[in-house]
Structure 1
Amino acid sequence: MHAYSASRISLPSHSAQPSLPAAFGSEPQQPVNFFPAGSEIYAQGEKAGAFYQVEFGAVRIYRLLADGRRQISAFHLAGETFGFEADTKHHFFAEAINATGVRAFRFSAGADMSHKLLPLALKGLTRAQE
């Protein structure tokens, strides 16, 4: 006979997430999407329209080269955001490295979120430059 026990994961509340600007406090809490190790979060060429925050685990951002090699551009850990695109499609793949929880933030069409997203985008740019 085997005994199984359930465990609960306590995730930080939306207001305790330091990487999101305070302006996002009025947005509804987004659900956590769970990805097992090696699973795709989004693919290169897919339609973009959201950005993502890692709740736990790790994410690898990469693109496939013509010769089949993988070029890794970034790793993201808990509290970090990723998935910003300059146009309407993703130019990279995003993949869970291990068991990972991610929140996707989507906004209604036509909403001007630039003042809220600019600090996150600049933080990502600074991280890439370092």
Structure 2
Amino acid sequence: MQTAPATTGIDPAAPATPMRAGGPAAAARGEAPAMGIARSVHKDEEIYGEGDEARWYFKVTAGVVRTCKILSDGRRQIEAFHVAGDIFGIERGTDYHCSAEAVGEAVVVAYRRCSLEILAAGDMPLARQVVATALLNLERAQQHMILLGRKSATEKVATFLLEMADRVHVDAIELPMSRSDIADYLGLTIETVSRTLTQLERDGVIALPAARRNIVLRNKAALRRLNA
């Protein structure tokens, strides 16, 4: 039986639901699909901690996961939000460089870390997805660096809303993350995030229904102009 390090937030080797990454298509090709272990994760539950041994990587199948670091002064910087279909926990070194936590109730599939050559031999589609994810994460990290360093508060919020809408492919976004999460991702205060969203609503760019985590993008062209 596979075992995970004791320091990992969740134990992928604990009783769970096995899932094969390749599925019927891989079986039809005579391949041995990579075996993943599905785990349910509760709100704010840690999946792995910064400095834990990176023996697993994960794919989100439901919910949202945040990866973040705690700075030396105690502030939190959220590096990324991972939605259904995203792979996270891919590390160049032997340890995780940040922590990963469920934003709300989530389901992730854990895969035992191995070399890309071994993975490709067992499940080529998953290997391609891992490579594509690594490149996409690098691109998003570069964009996030520009967002943090060069954009105004309004531009940051507009960028975030467009990014989330593009990733979930809807204009009415139900954000599982709190205003605090958004603030720590954008490098802003909670008050600034709330004030900016209220101003965008007054300007008719977005709508904030009674359920305040629901945001409707009423004028994506205006958001894109702010994001330019």
Q: Structure 2: state its 5+ residue gaps.
A: 1-18, 24-30, 121-126, 144-228
Unpaired runs of 5+ residues, structure 1, are 1-11, 17-24
Matched, 1:59 2:65: yes
SS in 1 for 2:140: helix
- Please say if 1:102 is aligned against 2:108: yes
Q: Which residue of 1 aligns with 2:133?
A: 120
Matched residue SS, 1:129: helix
Aligned length: 111
Alpha-carbon displacement from aligned partner over 1:6-57 (angstroms, at most 9, x marks no partner):
xxxxxx97447xxxxxxxx732442211110010000001000221100101
Give the Cα separation in 1 of the matches to 2:118 and 2:139: 20
- The yes-or-no answer on 1:77 pairing with 2:73 is no
Larger Rg: 2
Q: In 2 relative to 1, CA 128–26 (structure 1 residues): closer, same or farther, beyond 3 Å?
A: farther
CA spacing shift, 1:84–1:28, aligned 2, 3 Å = closer
Match of 1:47?
Answer: 53
Question: Which one has more relative contact order, counting CA pairs under 8 Å at least 6 apart?
Answer: 1
TM-score after normalising by structure 1: 0.72
RMSD value, Cα: 2.7
Alignment CA distance shift 1:119-1:113 (3 Å): farther
Q: Which has the higher strand share?
A: 1
Q: TM-score, normalised by structure 2?
A: 0.43
> Following TM superposition, by how much is the alpha carbon of 1:103 offset from its aligned partner in structure 2, in angstroms?
0.5
* Residues 85-112 of structure 1 deviation map (CA, whole Å, 9 limit, x = unaligned): 110001100000000100111145x673
Report runs of 4+ in structure 1 exceeding 6 Å deviation: none
SS at match of 1:30: strand
**1:84 partner SS:** coil
Q: Report sequence identity in percent.
A: 35
User: Which structure has greater helix proportion?
Assistant: 2
Number of the residue aligned with 1:34: 40
In structure 2, how many angstroms separate the alpha carbons of the residues matched to 1:75 and 1:90?
Answer: 16
Q: Say if 1:103 and 1:114 are closer, same or farther in 2 by CA, change over 3 A.
A: closer
Partner of 2:221: none
| Alignment partner, residue 96 of structure 2 | 90
Deviation at 1:66, TM superposition (A): 1.1
